[in-house]
Amino acid sequence: MALEIDQLAEALAASHAAIAFTGAGISTESGIPDFRGPNGVWKKVDPAEFTIDNYINNADHRARVWSQRAASHEASHEPNDGHHAIVELEHLGIISSVVTQNIDGLHAAAGSSIVLELHGTMREVACLSCGDRLPMGDVVARVRAGDTDPHCARCGGLLKSATVSFGQALPADVIEDAFRRARECDLCLVVGSSLVVYPAAGVPIEAKRAGATVAIVNAEETDLDDLADVVVRGQAGEVLREAVQKVRAIQAV
């Protein structure tokens, strides 16, 4: 792994317009399970339950989702070394923005300036009819007060966390911006994603197609390892912490 981290550090040090593309694997060291790893969420529950159609048509499913949300709302997770390393790479003038599939808000909490959340955010709630948005805490308070299937106060529509469920469209402006950044970057640093969900996984492909270097840091094989110029098999926190130290040493010369 040492050789690959050297290759990663050299690629990062040579970049002036990198983007980071992250998935659930960058947050597991913060205590948030991923989806397809050895202890992934989809190994315990059926992803077919989490389609937008099931959410809209199945009141029992909605009640279960809101009850779990209300139980875990205050559970706080802190950014880990992986998130902090990406912020340091921004401060070193290497990474300009983060495109993430994650809904946990940890990149912003770590201090990344520009974060594109392709799959939305758990911090807010949206009305599926009128689009009205409100803080998750306000709706959790209603659920805890007995409103087990909260509807929009404005139009009566269904409320749902502002995350993108299977079958739901990604926010068009965000996905467009992400693909533009992929085309304009000179390096796409992919961290903690199995790269099996589209259109998100198209971002590193777009970067490669536009001539950027693609570097993947992941604990397991990914669907796009063959496309990458650098692949580092390891834990995101440790790998990125070491890579940043090596970049600093290269830049100091």
The catalytic residue positions are 119
> Rounded to the nearest whole angstrom, what is the least distance from the CB of residue 22 to ligand APR in the complex?
8
Window 26-55: residues binding ligand APR (CB under 6 A): 28-29, 34-37, 40
Q: Could you say whether residue 194 binds ligand APR (CB under 6 A)?
A: yes
25 binds ligand APR (CB under 6 A): yes
Q: Could you say which residues in the range 119-158 bind ligand APR, by CB under 6 A? A: 119
DSSP letter string, the chain: -HHHHHHHHHHHHT-SSEEEEE-GGGTGGGT---SSSTT-GGGTS-GGGGBHHHHHH-HHHHHHHHHHHHHHTT------HHHHHHHHHHHTT-EEEEEE---S-HHHHHT-S-EEETTEEEEEEEETTT--EEEHHHHHHHHHTT-SS-B-TTT-PBEEEEE--BTSPP-HHHHHHHHHHHHH-SEEEEES----STTTTHHHHHHHHTT-EEEEEESS--TTGGG-SEEEES-HHHHHHHHHHHHHHHHH-
161 near ligand APR (CB under 6 A): no
For ligand APR, give the closer residue by CB, 15 or 222.
222
Site for ligand APR in 54-93 (CB under 6 A): none
Which position among 78, 176, 220, 223 is part of the footprint of ligand APR (CB under 6 A)? 220
| CA–CA gap between residue 120 and residue 34 (Å, rounded) | 16
Closer to ligand APR by CB, 83 or 181: give it: 83
Q: Total residues contacting ligand APR (rule CB under 6 A)? A: 22
Of 21, 23, 76, 29, the residue nearest 235 (C-alpha)? 29
CB of 13 to ligand APR, least distance (A): 22
CB of 23 to ligand APR, least distance (A): 3
Q: Does 111 bind ligand APR (CB under 6 A)?
A: no
Instruction: Give the Cα separation of 228 and 193 in Å (integer).
Output: 13
Q: At closest approach, how far in Å is the CB of 135 from ligand APR? A: 22
The CB-of-130 to ligand APR minimum distance in angstroms stands at 24
**Residue of closest CB approach to ligand APR:** 25
Enumerate binding residues for ligand APR (CB under 6 A).
23-25, 28-29, 34-37, 40, 101, 119, 192-194, 197, 218-220, 222, 235-236
